[in-house]
A and B are shown apart, each in its own frame.
Chain A
């Protein structure tokens, strides 16, 4: 059935995607896109447009709640009937979404750029996902909790349930089974190499930003592209390959020689990933404070001569740092501006992460 509201909904989606009404872009709300790493669930806000109106500001963050808490106890964030009243300001509602779903939402606007069918065997892959329930199915897929609940309800209603000796017996009609859907997803051979600067000039805050960005790129890619390989490199003056866990956790110190990482990446590519067989994506995260000008020059030379010819994309993401010049960003943009496969972004706060990812993966580039 076609609902009248679909028209309004379409229009809203178009505004969110920036196709129409550019003047509203600046009022788009997205709040915190980033959830906790390592947990399965994260909370994301629903997109909204918050047109300006006169409202109270920050010194108004108080309200009345209900419960057992003592004075001084902290509440969960955003609890309570806030001063926003009932109707207004609720556009930004936190929804608990699984990582998969979040990646899906990201995916509406993003695409792995310039991916090409390479390699032999992988065009599409089938995957089963358990997405619903049904009345019949194999016992191995029985949804125990739901079945139990139905049985309990039936027994309570028919008076068979004895709370002192609770014994729930399933009947045929109580049983509920999981059902699945087969999803086809395209596959290409692709490898993503993440390189991170973990030198001393990167403070905890910078590392946190880098990790979040890398985490999201990783989450999104894994969701949307099956069979993607990821390799992780950390470097200060020396580079080393590490596993995913270590990459997101490691704390190090020392100076910075960016070329070390590039050299390692080159070795990796030469050894395992030939450009004719693989889509190769290279990401580098740093505060841009390289140890010397000559090393920066060497980086550019490495990139231009050895790496870029075989790469689909080189993404450079620079975080703002209290120390250092952050000069490498300029080096990259100036020296390599003619290269189509090079994208450089800056991330100063968490808010920038989304834009940065979008810049890397803007759909239809």
Chain B
């Protein structure tokens, strides 16, 4: 169908853009297109893009979305791509008031994409890039066969989450020469452990033979670490495989594609709550302040509350985001921040904080300190730092948050506590690393036999053993030598191994070889 926007909607889009700029939103030029729900399901299955490489998982997603639509379980209201210009899609059979809401919502998303630090390294020409990826993979499919390429993509997708979202912000890998030089310098600077002692006591407190022995040991350790590969454990497993796995050129190229796309999507996972909260905050502000007409009010309210609805026992990122942003705005407008406020643990005092000092004609909205604060928040934070810094006991109380847990006895989810610390900890755990386990490449030449040694950094939850075993098999398809995973299961360090024929698990003790690098 013709995706060009009808004149009346285009006019509204321009109007809303002006209001958004007036409120200091700063976004890329935004192109709106309209689509049928079928097309929308396709685009949504493609992660928002008009073109992706052929793969069944998009078909799976499409089926899910279509069923969801068919059974009236939910429809996709908005879809926006982080790109310059931003692309956004409107559902063709929506009412005008929905279009307006979506447009306002989208401008805020674009503003977030453009200004949030975590998005600063993403490719802003991703639409073109995705189309290029599709072409390249199609070409490989023509040359090497659909099944073979698809199988390879499946394997890569099993490892897709093994990236390091922070890696765009750091120097990828120090040249090996430099590592050695630094190690040597350190070595010379630090002659083993020397305890402070008066001169006449020195040879008793720091006996020379002991010093010599320690120095020797240290030197040996350093010697060993010099050959460590990678020099320090690294989280970007995909990057490591790309560099070092024995892959054909075309295989490596596909891996590079999968990895690039994973990195492109990572910031969206890192900022889900903030991004949606920010967009909801602004569609609400813009709609109620500037745009709504009287006859649209009821429909707007219905749809707005629909997006923010929280069912008992459920947490809606839109809702959490918008409420927390409003809470921050309110706190900064009423002076509820700073060391004195943070240190205060009298709930009664905190509740009334700022009430007495509130100036008569306080500025709210545009130009207020609270508004400035949330603009700063949207530029610098991601979900983890956002909640870590701004979640307060009052907020948790007001929002009626609780922690729940699976109760093995009844097999049901049971509310455990409303304790602030516990809830915060739980939220942060769920958001950290996008709820994916931390997996590191520790040694790419384990036992000096070219075997790959990964390790799971245990942060409170065990890995799923069944999945881990299968994933190792996939990993072996790429590495083509035995692969190992060090993971703690039930407080017991286990080494999972797949050697190409069979999987094994063994308890890790001193009888096993250690990887070169310390983990």
Q: Using CB atoms and an 8 Å cutoff, list the residues of chain A in contact with chain B.
A: 1, 3-5, 7-13, 15, 20-21, 23-24, 46-49, 51-88, 91, 93, 95-97, 153, 156-157
Residue B480 CB within 8 A of the other chain: no
B423-454 with Cβ < 8 A to chain A: 423, 426-427, 429-431, 434-437, 439
Q: Given the known inter-chain contacts A9-B62, A91-B60, A95-B73, please indicate yes or no for A54 contacting B437, CB distance below 8 A.
A: yes
- List of A residues within 8 angstroms of B489 by Cβ: 57
A63:B430 contact, CB within 8 angstroms: yes
Is B116's beta carbon under 8 Å from chain A? Answer: no
Closest to A105 in B: B67
Q: Which residues of the partner chain B approach A24 to less than 8 Å between Cβ atoms?
A: 154
Q: Quick check: is B11 within 8 A (CB to CB) of the other chain?
A: no
CA distance A80 to B310 in the complex (A): 10
Known: A77-B412, A97-B71, A153-B298. A9 touches B312 (CB 8 A): no
List chain A residues, Cβ under 8 A from B62: 5, 8-9, 12
CB of B55 within 8 A of CB of A80, answer no
- Cβ-closest chain B residue relative to A66: B310
Q: List 26 A-B contacts (CB under 8 A).
A: A7-B54, A12-B57, A20-B147, A21-B150, A23-B151, A52-B468, A55-B436, A55-B467, A56-B461, A60-B461, A62-B404, A62-B416, A63-B426, A64-B315, A64-B403, A64-B430, A65-B315, A69-B312, A69-B402, A71-B416, A71-B418, A73-B415, A80-B413, A83-B430, A85-B430, A91-B60
Report the separation of the CA atoms of residues A157 and B298 in the bound assembly, to the nearest whole angstrom.
Answer: 8
Rounded to whole angstroms, the CA-CA distance of A93 and B154 in the bound complex is 21
CA distance A23 to B56 in the complex (A): 14
Q: A8-B56, A66-B399, A85-B269 are in contact. Are A54 and B415 (CB under 8 A)?
A: no
Q: Which of B250-269 contact A (CB under 8 A)?
A: 265, 269
Question: 10 closest A-B pairs (Cβ-Cβ)?
Answer: A61-B406, A12-B59, A52-B470, A8-B59, A79-B313, A67-B312, A9-B59, A57-B464, A60-B461, A85-B435
Residues A64 and B64 in contact, CB atoms below 8 Å apart: no
Specify the chain B residue showing the minimal Cβ separation from A24.
B154
**Cα distance A303–B518 in the bound complex, in angstroms:** 70
Give the residues in chain A near B312, CB-CB below 8 Å: 65-69, 75, 79
Measured between beta carbons, the chain A residues less than 8 angstroms from B412 are: 74-75, 77
State whether A13 touches B151 (Cβ < 8 A).
no
Q: For chain B, which range describes its interface: under 10, 10 to 19, 20 to 34, or 35 or more residues? A: 35 or more
Determine if B45 and A5 form an interchain contact, defined as CB atoms under 8 angstroms apart.
yes
Is B435 a contact partner of A65 (Cβ separation < 8 A)? Answer: no
Chain A's closest residue to B454 (CB) is A54
Q: Chain B residues with Cβ under 8 A from A21's Cβ?
A: 56, 147, 150-151
Inter-subunit contact A62/B38 (CB<8 Å): no
Inter-subunit contact B151/A9 (CB<8 Å) = no
**Across the two chains, which residue of chain B brings its CB closest to A94?**
B73
Min C-beta distance of B163 to chain A, whole Å: 12
Interface centre among B42, B51, B157 (most CB of A within 10 A): B42
User: Contact partner of B467 among A54, A65, A68, A97, CB < 8 A?
Assistant: A54
Report Cα–Cα, A82/B404, bound state, in Å.
Answer: 10
A46 — which chain B residues lie within 8 A by C-beta?
Answer: 63-64, 67
B314 engages A49 (CB within 8 Å): no
* Contact flag A3-B401 (CB < 8 Å), given A56-B463, A56-B464, A57-B462: no
In the complex, B33 has a CB within 8 A of chain A = no
Is B206 at the interface (CB under 8 A from chain A)?
no
A251–B73 CA distance with the chains assembled, in angstroms: 39
CA distance A62 to B316 in the complex (A): 16
Q: Are the C-beta atoms of A72 and B73 separated by less than 8 Å?
A: no
Query: Within the complex, which residue of A53, A72, A97 is in contact with B160, where a contact is CB–CB below 8 Å?
Result: A53
**Closest-CB distance, A50 to chain B (whole angstroms):** 9
Q: How far is the CB of B158 from chain A (nearest CB, A)?
A: 5
Asked if B269 and A71 sit within 8 Å, CB to CB, the answer is no
Which A residues touch B511, using CB under 8 A? none
- Cβ-closest chain A residue relative to B383: A86
Contacts of B295 in A (CB 8 A): 157
> Which has the most chain A C-beta neighbours within 10 Å: B150, B313, B403, B416?
B313
For residue A13, give the distance in angstroms from its CB to the closest CB of chain B: 7
A77: B residues at CB distance < 8 A: 412-413
Contacts of A78 in B (CB 8 A): 413
